[in-house]
Amino acid sequence: MASASHNDRIILNVAFNYGGRAEIVDAVQHIMRDGHPPEAVNEALISQYLYTGDLPDADLIIRTGGEYRLSNFLIWQAAYAEYYATPAFWPDFDEAELARALLEYSHRDRRFGKVAPAAAGEG
């Protein structure tokens, strides 16, 4: 597990009236308007054209209100994000709730799509 003990900042995104699918469509349309040839389209180029093009991909997505679905939120950027669901609604999501989410996140084994190594004796 990677340590975050030396991190001194976070980036918080709050989205209202946002849709991840619409964001991807907008990005592709913008890529086409800018005249990029099809063979130049790759993950990095698409990422540059997203609304969050100047931000790193999400590490943790907190879902409030007891919901467990993605709800079309950061579909592209959340490919390797960890999700945390809380029954607290947004207005009640306070410092204590954030601390719980971050504590839970700190115990996650972030593999970014890699398979966890088999434990001794498994096989």
Considering the domain boundaries, does residue 6 fall inside one? no
Residues 42 and 80 in one domain: no
Considering the domain boundaries, does residue 64 fall inside one? yes
Considering the domain boundaries, does residue 1 fall inside one? no
Considering the domain boundaries, does residue 77 fall inside one? yes
Residues 65 and 49 in one domain: no
Residues 61 and 106 in one domain: yes
0.85 surpassed by pTM? no
Considering the domain boundaries, does residue 84 fall inside one? yes
- Per the structure, the complete domain to which residue 70 belongs is given by 56-110
How many domains, the chain? 2
Considering the domain boundaries, does residue 25 fall inside one? yes
Taking Cα atoms as reference points, which of 59, 71, 93 lies closest to residue 16? 71
Reported confidence tier of residue 1, pLDDT bands at 50, 70, 90: very low
Residues 68 and 97 in one domain: yes
Residues 74 and 104 in one domain: yes
Considering the domain boundaries, does residue 94 fall inside one? yes
Q: Is the pLDDT of residue 101 over 90?
A: yes
Q: What are the pLDDT digits (tens) for 55-94?
A: 999 999 999 999 898 889 899 999 999 999 999 998 899 9
Supply the pLDDT for residue 121: 62
Supply the pLDDT for residue 47: 97
Residues 50 and 61 in one domain: no
Q: What are the pLDDT digits (tens) for 6-60?
A: 767 777 777 778 899 999 999 999 999 999 999 999 999 999 999 999 999 999 9
Least confident of 24-33, 98-107, 110-119: 110-119
Considering the domain boundaries, does residue 88 fall inside one? yes
Supply the pLDDT for residue 120: 60
Reported confidence tier of residue 112, pLDDT bands at 50, 70, 90: confident
Residues 50 and 62 in one domain: no
- Measured CA to CA, the distance from residue 100 to residue 113 in angstroms comes to 25
